[in-house]
Amino acid sequence: MARVARALREEVHRANMALARSGLVMGTFGNVSGVDREAGLLAIKPSGVPYDALRPEHIVPVSLATGEVVDSDLRPSSDTPTHLELYRAFPSCGGVVHTHSAHATALAQAGLPVRCLGTTHADHFRGDVPVTRPLRKAEVAKDYERNTGLVIVETFRRKRISPDEVAAVLVASHGPFTWGQDAAHAVQNAEVLEYLARMDILVHAAAPRGVKRPAPFLVDAHYLRKHGPGAYYGQKGRK
Amino acid sequence: MARVARALREEVHRANMALARSGLVMGTFGNVSGVDREAGLLAIKPSGVPYDALRPEHIVPVSLATGEVVDSDLRPSSDTPTHLELYRAFPSCGGVVHTHSAHATALAQAGLPVRCLGTTHADHFRGDVPVTRPLRKAEVAKDYERNTGLVIVETFRRKRISPDEVAAVLVASHGPFTWGQDAAHAVQNAEVLEYLARMDILVHAAAPRGVKRPAPFLVDAHYLRKHGPGAYYGQKGRK
Amino acid sequence: MARVARALREEVHRANMALARSGLVMGTFGNVSGVDREAGLLAIKPSGVPYDALRPEHIVPVSLATGEVVDSDLRPSSDTPTHLELYRAFPSCGGVVHTHSAHATALAQAGLPVRCLGTTHADHFRGDVPVTRPLRKAEVAKDYERNTGLVIVETFRRKRISPDEVAAVLVASHGPFTWGQDAAHAVQNAEVLEYLARMDILVHAAAPRGVKRPAPFLVDAHYLRKHGPGAYYGQKGRK
Amino acid sequence: MARVARALREEVHRANMALARSGLVMGTFGNVSGVDREAGLLAIKPSGVPYDALRPEHIVPVSLATGEVVDSDLRPSSDTPTHLELYRAFPSCGGVVHTHSAHATALAQAGLPVRCLGTTHADHFRGDVPVTRPLRKAEVAKDYERNTGLVIVETFRRKRISPDEVAAVLVASHGPFTWGQDAAHAVQNAEVLEYLARMDILVHAAAPRGVKRPAPFLVDAHYLRKHGPGAYYGQKGRK
C-alpha cells in the first residue's frame, strides 16, 4: 500500500502545484485530491499548508470506506468529507478540485449558475453548471463538509445532470468544485470553469436583461465533437 | 511545392506562436492559418496540439480547391472548413485567426456586435464588427464548420460590409474570427478586436442605456487617416 | 529603546515591502504601521518615499502617547494620526494598513459596504465590512487624519461590530483600512479585503437587483471554523 | 540648438519608454511630448514607430511657433498639432501624453467625465476630469488634430477649470490627454487617470443609479494637502 500511496501522493502534489500556478487560488484557499479506487484511497492536500512549502509526502491519504487518515500525521483539508462524497457518488470521478476563484465564486454568491452561452462552454460541459440550494441550519451545524458533498450529489440527481457531462458545480454562497478523470483533469476543469464564469459575468454586464441561449443542437454538436463516440477533435484515432 | 509549403508553414507557425503569447488563447483553443494563393494552399494549426509542442513541420497544408490535406499525417484544426470559405470568398484575405478571447466571445454570446464607439476602433475597422445570425439546425447537423464560414460571408454580403474594411466578425454563440493581409496581421487584428471588445463592454457597464455613436465623418476620417490613399499615419511615403 | 525600535522598524519595513509586492498600491499610495505596546511606539512608513527606495531605517517611530516622532528626521505618513487612533481604541490591534486598492476604494466611493456574501468572506471577517459616514466640514478642516480614525472607531461602536472579528473598514469617499495581530497580518487582510471587494462588485454586475444573503449560521460556522475556540482548520493542535 | 534638442529628445524618449512599460499602450498607440520653451521647441514620438525600435535620435523636434519639424527626417506623431495647441494655451504645461488606455477611453466613448468620487482622485485632480464636446464636421474635415487641441482648450475655458489643477481631459469618442510640469509627470498623470477611470467604471457597475459625491471641502482638503502652499505631504520642507 505504501507504494500505491506514493504514486498517488505525487500525482496529487503535482496537481496542487498546477492549481497554485493557475492563479485560481489566493493564500492557502483551494485544494486538490485524487483517488486510487483499487487501493480504496483518496489523497488530498493537508489543511492550511502554504503551497510553496507543500511536498509530496505532505499529501494525506484517506480511506474511501471509513474517511480515516492513513499513514500521515497531518490533518487533511477540512473539505475532505466533501471530496469523499463526490468519489462515492460519482463512479468515474478520479480527481476533485475546490477553489474560491473569483468569477465562479461570485456567481455562487449570487446564486446563479454558469450559463451555457456558447461553444466555449459546450466544448467542455454539456449545459449549465448548476448552483446548489443553500444548506439548512441542521446541515451546517453537524457534518457541514459532508453535507456540502451530499447537496452537490442531490443537485445532479434532482436536475438529472450527468456528472460525466458536467464535471463542475457551484455551491451556493460558497464556491466551485470541479472533477475529472484524474486530479490533473480536475484542475484543467477548474481553469475552464473560471474562464466560462468570467465570460458569463461579462455577458451579464453587456446584456443585463438576458440573452438568447444557443440552441440545444449547437450545444450537443460541440460537446459531442470533443467527447462523444464520433469525436473528431484532436489527433485521437490518428497515429 | 515542398518549398512553398515550408515557407508557409514557418509563417503560420510563427503567427500561431504569436497568438499563444498574446494571452488570447487558453489551453489549445484558437488557431491561425495562412495562405499561398499561387500554390493553391492554406496551412493551419493541427487539431488539439498544445502550443508548447508545436513545431513548423506540424502545420498542416490543405488544398484551397479540394479541402484535402497535403503532405501531412496530422489532422488539421477542426475549424479548417471555416477558414477555407473565408479564403474562397474574400480574395485579399491572406491569413485567418480564430480565438475564444474572453471579451469578444462574451459579446458573441450576447448576440451583440463590437460597436464602433470611437477612434481606437475606427483606426482599425470602418464601422461595427458584426455578429452573424445563429446557425440553423440543418447547418449544424452537417458541414457545421463549413457553414460557419458561409454564414460569415453571408453576413458581410447582406450588411454590405467590405471584408477589407472590417477584417473581423463575431459568430453568434461562438466567438471571433479575424483576418488580414497575412497570418501575422490577422493575429494583430485578433489582439485589436479583443481590446475593442473589452472597451465596448466597459461602455456597456458605464452607460447601460446606450451611448451616442461617433459621427460617420469621424469614423471615416480616422479609418482613412491610416488606410486610405491619402493616409498620413506612420512613416509611409517618407524615406 | 533603540533596539526595540530597530526590530519594529524591520518588521514594518518588511510589511511595507510585502504591500508593495501585493499589487494593491500604485506609486507611493498606501502605508503600513506596526506597534510595540510595551515600548509605547508605533512605527510607520515615511510620507511620500517611493517603495523601491525604502529602507528599514526610514521607518518612523512615533509615540503612542503623544503622537510625536521619536528618533527620526523624516516626516511620518500623513495618515499617522488615523493609525494612532486605531491603536488607541482597538487594544488587540498590532498593525494597520491603508491602501487605495481599486475595488475596495470603488466601494468606499460608492458608499457601499463589502457585503458578506459567502464563505470566502466569512472565513476572514464575521459579517459585512462597514463603510463610515462622511466626515463633517469641521472634521475635515481641523485634525482631518485624526478624525478619520475617530469616525472608524465610531462606526464599529455604533454598529456594535468587534474590530477583532471584522478587521477592516471602508472610509466613505476615501478607501480601506485593515488591521491585524501584527503588520504582516494587516497586509494579508488588505489583500483578502481587495479580493472580497472584487467579488462583491462582480456580484453587483451579475445580479444588479441584489442577492439573497447567506444565513447567519453559515457565516458563523465558517468564521468559527477558522477563528473560534473550536477551530479545526489548519494544523493547529496537531504536532 | 542641437544640444538643447539632444537633452529634450532624451527626456522625451525616456518618458515614451516609461509609457510603453506602463501597460497603457497597445501596439504603437500613444505618444509623449516634452517642451523646451526657451528654445521654442517641443519634441515628440515619430508616427507609427514601434516602442522597441525607438531611440532618442528618432524623437522629432517641432517649432512651437510654426509647427514645423526641426532637424529630423522622420514624420512626427500625427497628433502633434493637438500637443502644440496645449503648449500654446497652457503656459505651465511641460509635457503632454496621449493614450488609448482602456478605461479612460471607454469613458470618453461613453461621453462621460472621470467623476471626482473620492480622495484618490482629489489627491491628483481638483474635480472631475471633463469630456469635450464632439467635434463638428468642418472641424474634422480640416485641421482635425489642431481642432482636437482647440476643443480641449475650449472645454477648460468654458467650464472654468484650471489646467494646472486638472491636468487631464477626455476627448469625446476618442480618448485621454494628460499633461504635467514635464514629460515624466505627464506620463504619471496618464497612469493615475487610467486608475481613476477604472475605479469610476467599477462604481458605475456597483451603483448604476449614481452615488453621492464627496463634499467640495473634502476634495479641496486633499488636493491642497498635496499641491497647495500649505502642503504637508511628502518630505518637502524637511531637511
pLDDT above 80 for D4: no
pLDDT above 90 for A231: no
State residue B102 phi and psi, 5-degree precision: -60, -50
Collect all residues of chain A within an 8 Å Cβ-Cβ radius of residue B49.
Answer: 235
- Integer angstrom CA distances of residue A37 from A8, A40, B53, D47: 11, 5, 32, 65
| Superfamily of the domain at D2-224 | Class II aldolase/adducin N-terminal domain (3.40.225.10)
Q: How many CB atoms lie within 10 A of CB B187?
A: 27
| For chain D, domain boundaries | 2-224
When pLDDT is averaged across residues A196-218 and rounded to a whole number, the result is 96
**pLDDT attached to residue C2:** 65
pLDDT above 50 for D143: yes
The residue that leads in pLDDT, D141 or D27, is: D141
pLDDT above 50 for C10: yes
Distance from the Cα of C107 to chain D's closest Cα (Å) equals 7
Distance from the Cα of A38 to chain C's closest Cα (Å) equals 29
- For testing contact with chain B, the best of A217, A219, A222, A224 (most B CBs within 10 A): A217
The kind and range of the H/E element at A97 are strand A95-98
When pLDDT is averaged across residues A130-146 and rounded to a whole number, the result is 98
Among B74, B109, B200, beta carbon nearest to A118: B109
Neighbours of chain D (3+ CB pairs under 8 A): B, C
**pLDDT attached to residue B227:** 86
CB A221 to CB B144 under 8 A? yes
Alpha-carbon distance C158 to C181, whole Å?
Answer: 23
Alpha-carbon distance A188 to D47, whole Å?
Answer: 44
Q: Looking at chain B, list the stretches that DSSP marks H as alpha helix, in order from N- to C-terminal side.
A: 2-21, 80-89, 102-110, 119-122, 137-141, 144-158, 183-206, 216-227
**pLDDT (tens digit per residue) in D131-140:** 999 999 999 9
Nearest residue in D to B193, CA atom: D26
Distance from the Cα of A218 to chain B's closest Cα (Å) equals 7
Q: C28 falls in which pLDDT band (50, 70, 90)? A: low
Q: Of C71, C143, C232, C233, which residue is the catalytic one? A: C233
Chain A: which residues have CB within 8 Å of chain B? 117-120, 188, 191-192, 195, 198-199, 202-203, 205-208, 211-212, 214-215, 217-218, 221, 225, 232-235, 238-239
Alpha-carbon distance B37 to B86, whole Å?
Answer: 13
Distance from the Cα of C93 to chain D's closest Cα (Å) equals 25
CB B203 to CB D29 under 8 A? no
Alpha-carbon distance B87 to B67, whole Å?
Answer: 11
Q: Is A235 helix (H, G, I), strand (E, B) or coil?
A: coil
CB A173 to CB C118 under 8 A? yes
Q: Which has the minimum average pLDDT: B221-225, D144-148, D192-196?
A: B221-225
Alpha-carbon distance D98 to D44, whole Å?
Answer: 11
Task: Please enumerate, as own/partner, the contacts of D214-218 that have beta carbons within 8 Å and a separation of 24 or more.
Answer: D214/C134, D214/C173, D214/D116, D214/D117, D214/D118, D214/D119, D214/D122, D215/C134, D215/C137, D215/C140, D217/C137, D217/C140, D217/C141, D218/C134, D218/C135, D218/C140, D218/C173, D218/D119, D218/D122
| Residue linked to cell 461590530 | C161
Q: C130 falls in which pLDDT band (50, 70, 90)? A: very high
**pLDDT (tens digit per residue) in C136-195:** 999 999 999 999 999 999 999 999 999 999 999 999 999 999 999 999 999 999 999 999
Task: Please enumerate, as own/partner, the contacts of D73-77 that have beta carbons within 8 Å and a separation of 24 or more.
Answer: D73/B238, D73/B239, D74/B235, D74/B238, D74/D46, D74/D47, D74/D49, D75/B232, D75/B234, D75/B235, D75/B238, D75/D46, D75/D47, D76/D44, D76/D45, D76/D46, D76/D47, D77/D31, D77/D33, D77/D44, D77/D45, D77/D46, D77/D47
Size of interface B-D (CB pairs under 8 A): 90
Beta strand A41-44 with D168-171 is unpaired
- The question of whether D220 is a catalytic residue gets the answer no
**pLDDT (tens digit per residue) in D64-113:** 999 999 999 999 999 999 999 999 999 999 999 999 999 999 999 999 99
Among B199, B212, B239, beta carbon nearest to D106: B199
Among C191, C212, C233, beta carbon nearest to A111: C212
Chain A: which residues have CB within 8 Å of chain C? 26-27, 29, 46-49, 73-75, 78, 100, 102-103, 105-112, 134-135, 137, 140-141, 144, 173-175, 200-201, 204-205, 208
CB A24 within 8 A of CB A77: no
**pLDDT (tens digit per residue) in C32-84:** 999 999 999 999 999 988 888 999 999 999 999 999 999 999 999 999 999 99
Among A117, A234, A239, beta carbon nearest to B173: A117
Q: Which three cell numbers stand for residue B51?
A: 502550443
CB D211 within 8 A of CB D172: no
The per-residue DSSP string of B83-124 comes to HHHHHHH-TT--EEEE---HHHHHHHHHT--B---SHHHHTT
**pLDDT (tens digit per residue) in C33-44:** 999 999 999 999
pTM over 0.90: yes
The residue that leads in pLDDT, A235 or D147, is: D147
Enumerate the active-site residues of A: 123, 233
Average pLDDT, chain C: 93
**pLDDT attached to residue D233:** 63
Q: A226 falls in which pLDDT band (50, 70, 90)? A: confident
**pLDDT (tens digit per residue) in A86-137:** 999 999 999 999 999 999 999 999 999 999 999 999 999 999 999 999 999 9
State residue B182 phi and psi, 5-degree precision: -155, 180
Average pLDDT, chain A: 93
**pLDDT attached to residue C238:** 44
CB D233 within 8 A of CB C78: yes
The residue that leads in pLDDT, A4 or B109, is: B109
The kind and range of the H/E element at D177 are strand D175-180
Distance from the Cα of D69 to chain B's closest Cα (Å) equals 14
Among A74, A107, A141, beta carbon nearest to C235: A74
What strands, in cross-sheet order, belong to the sheet with A95-98? A60-63, A41-44, A31-36, A95-98, A175-180, A168-171
Q: Of D123, D164, D182, D220, which residue is the catalytic one? A: D123
The kind and range of the H/E element at C63 are strand C60-63
Alpha-carbon distance C203 to C209, whole Å?
Answer: 10
**pLDDT attached to residue C239:** 37
The residue that leads in pLDDT, B195 or A4, is: B195
- Integer angstrom CA distances of residue C175 from A156, C47, D189, D211: 42, 18, 20, 15
Tens place of pLDDT for every residue, chain B, 239 residues? 566 689 999 999 999 999 999 988 876 678 999 999 999 999 999 998 888 899 999 999 999 999 999 999 999 999 999 999 999 999 999 999 999 999 999 999 999 999 999 999 999 999 999 999 999 999 999 999 999 999 999 999 999 999 999 999 999 999 999 999 999 999 999 999 999 999 999 999 999 999 999 999 999 999 998 887 777 666 754 43
Q: Is C79 helix (H, G, I), strand (E, B) or coil?
A: coil
